[in-house]
Structure 1
């Protein structure tokens, strides 16, 4: 715990940042101390990531100053920040997909590229970190073959290898499994105990309980509270973040038992070398999903979830088996034959949007195949403005490029496009990744509304808490096979954990 007499390693004083008419940071002051884990909380768009990007040199403040150990500094680039001992892990990954894990870690070395192969001391340290945080990841694995949670762990190792005095982590546990998250919490506590300052941007209150020493809550660009973590209850933190105490989520209604609307029979597929799907195969997947049913797909990262989603969405072909929706083939020759499928992929910047196009184009993209003519730009913009408002995409500027949105707002953009019509099938991969508490509630309510309208929902998640609370059934994937299916009303964690680690369903 922080010594009250210890001088802060970083002081942010009166930091302001504006993007056009949007005030992202408004006279923000914040102290960061060595040996302390600071949880930075707030809704999407509260200014958390912008503030830390200013500290990292990614943005330049319009007003205010930064002090390192009491001395004013100018941080004009990430390179300057790293030289000053500040490292940051972003929500959007900066890994080279066609290189191995080892090569990516070596390229993060200050001596790269010349020292990529000769800096053995750096590699020994990197390998030790990798083994500690992600023992299942081999240094020879290609990045493109890793699951999203595994890529997040490699990014964490890169930052920790930099010997930074200040480590900034932006939503680091949003895609980690429970086991990976627990290892990560332990590592963060070790870093703090070794004298590092850790800033932990998160929406998860369990992150705060597990490893934070103090909390800073931001709202509408300002810090509204900074307190020792032990002095704030979860209810108080929620109230300070969103302005209301209770965020009750309506549970989904029971599905229609009349007939299975989606039938998946003996489905098998292989991912080729260029695929972003992490598992090489799925084998003999059989599932029947009723109208209005939410089926959660659980499993440790890399067990075929992404390949299953891509095949179900028609992005990759199957090797064998059939997928029927309302009695008709879902896809023909590996391409979707229907327009009423909503797909929310993981990593929206890479897989869900055209990053260099504006929000108007991204929100209209799904309608292109349905229309006989291309509408006027004014109609497209009106459509985009309506969805931006409904899904609270920030900043609410339809002409902004998608690449300029934060991770949470990119997720909202994809959700707005995919859930704004009346889909018959929704494939949702980590749909609340990077979203704050209020936005998460909004997404769940949207999914439940579509379920009430008889849509089938396939929900891929690594959060057993969410799947147990909000889905009707859970199917567990292990090495590309469904090893167990259970009603959530009778499920238990021990049973699910056994299946996720290779135990088979007992007949």
Structure 2
């Protein structure tokens, strides 16, 4: 079968970092190609070259056998290439419909909302996410909902080649299953789909072929069928590198470190109501739920970033709401947010400076820059942030490496409370295991962890208790050994239960 896309000897270098090193790859119509690799392997860079976002330093691109040169994504879109990035390009102040209308081909500066244009703009949204109201402002959507709107925006372009960069990293199980169905539908219609991913479940669900990248090179090509998860993981990170995770021990102490008492908060459409729970030193509480049900508001309230309308949060008996002006309680709380590029780093600052942000008040008036850089290098190496250059700006990092940067900063402070909101989002299997080990180590050393995730299997494997949040309220809490997937699914759908 002739290739729809042929990438030949592609090379791309950023400073001293070689992102793509003589990469050749074929993409066929009517297939789903899973492009696998750990964070920083060069997957996204290669596809951004295909999309016209970057110009290759060397190599060629051919579409239907004819060489092409792209000066911008607009050139790529004209011949039917669409890409959904990890970092969203939606305008938060506009509604979902306004974002979709603006992305239609030849969109005028003034949006005429004729019934035909509205139908054209919302046709894929109705299939992907029928529960999302097109009149809602994008800023009120959860991260999973924003991902689906981004997908709808690209699918509206009728692209022949669709590139999806980690599309399932922020979706719930039901949203993910729906997306898998649409990916297979796109392939059956003759489109070429490239699925950039590190999740082996994505490969098993819908991939026809795999290409594995490591250190900027393609190191493996094969049919997806018949490859075991262990073999794929080893191809991504090297034989014997993944290892196993041990679930943390249940803490012996029942003395609460974190007390959440009838907590309510509301910011725009983000609401939590009457949330209560306690965590002892060393305890991990997993928070499950469908995206947009209050997880983000709960995390920000616990981190002290949004005002509390009623109730209280106590850390070691001290109220966060009335904490002292020196911020002593805040120092005890680490926060790993769901969108680090928006609310955890300053994108234009270098890695060293971003690693200092939480401890800036403790620095001497004339800090020693050599010592700052040494500390930054130590953290960057410990958490495998790539590229490992303290002088690199945060905006140059991939989504997964940006997440690792924030985790390095927050956990290096030895907090008593860790608020981890989708901490492994966008991370490959090796990096995810590394993050889990750090969370478990901090729990073993006495920190309590509120772990918000939509990876239900991981929560059931490693959390001491699991709480389900629905419509801003706790639908039920269950101990690890009593957790049942069907029951948790019912709670996620709104069927409440007595807290266990």
Give the TM-score normalised by structure 2. Answer: 0.97
**Is contact 1:317-1:333 (8 Å) kept?**
no
Q: 1:258 aligns with which of 241, 254, 260?
A: 254
Aligned equivalents of 1:372, 1:287: Cα separation in 2: 39
Aligned equivalents of 1:346, 1:184: Cα separation in 2: 21
**Is contact 1:330-1:337 (8 Å) kept?**
no
**Is contact 2:37-2:214 (8 Å) kept?**
yes
Q: 2:142 aligns with which of 142, 147, 152?
A: 147
1:334 deviation in Å?
A: 11
SS of match in other structure, 2:286: strand
Change (3 A) 1:210 1:453: same
Change (3 A) 1:100 1:412: same
1:371 deviation in Å?
A: 3.5
Aligned to 2:496: 504
1:256 deviation in Å?
A: 3.0
Q: 2:373 aligns with which of 381, 394, 419?
A: 381
Aligned to 1:64: 59
Change (3 A) 1:496 1:116: same
1:322 deviation in Å?
A: 1.5
* CA shift digits 1:299-349 (9 cap, x unpaired): 111111111111110101111112111111123279854212110001111
SS of match in other structure, 1:331: coil
Change (3 A) 1:234 1:486: same
1:31 deviation in Å?
A: 0.3
* CA shift digits 1:262-305 (9 cap, x unpaired): 11111111114xxxxx52x2111110101100001111111111
Q: Which runs of 5+ in 1 are unaligned?
A: 1-5, 273-277
User: Would you identify which runs of 4 or more consecutive aligned residues in structure 1 move more than 4 Å?
Assistant: 333-337
Aligned to 2:90: 95
Moved more, 416-425 or 435-444: 416-425
Aligned to 2:465: 473
Change (3 A) 1:399 1:341: same
Q: 1:225 aligns with which of 220, 223, 232?
A: 220
Q: Is 1:316 aligned with 2:306?
A: yes
Change (3 A) 1:187 1:425: same
1:369 deviation in Å?
A: 2.2
Matches within 5 A, 1:445-464: 445-464=437-456
**Is contact 1:17-1:23 (8 Å) kept?**
yes
Q: Is 1:490 aligned with 2:485?
A: no
**Is contact 2:208-2:223 (8 Å) kept?**
yes
Q: Is 1:130 aligned with 2:125?
A: yes
**Is contact 1:356-1:401 (8 Å) kept?**
yes
**Is contact 1:476-1:496 (8 Å) kept?**
yes
Q: Is 1:284 aligned with 2:274?
A: yes
* CA shift digits 1:393-447 (9 cap, x unpaired): 1111111110111111100110111111210000000000000010000000000
Aligned to 2:264: 268
Aligned equivalents of 1:114, 1:363: Cα separation in 2: 41
1:148 deviation in Å?
A: 0.5
Q: 1:417 aligns with which of 409, 414, 417?
A: 409
Aligned to 2:317: 327
Aligned equivalents of 1:310, 1:251: Cα separation in 2: 27
1:233 deviation in Å?
A: 1.6
Aligned equivalents of 1:60, 1:260: Cα separation in 2: 55
Change (3 A) 1:28 1:173: same
* CA shift digits 1:198-221 (9 cap, x unpaired): 000011111101000110000111
1:234 deviation in Å?
A: 1.2
Aligned to 1:44: 39
Q: Is 1:298 aligned with 2:298?
A: no
SS of match in other structure, 2:481: coil
Aligned equivalents of 2:472, 2:229: Cα separation in 1: 38
Give the TM-score normalised by structure 1. Answer: 0.95
1:195 deviation in Å?
A: 0.5
**Is contact 2:308-2:321 (8 Å) kept?**
no
* CA shift digits 1:43-79 (9 cap, x unpaired): 1111100100110111111111000000111012101
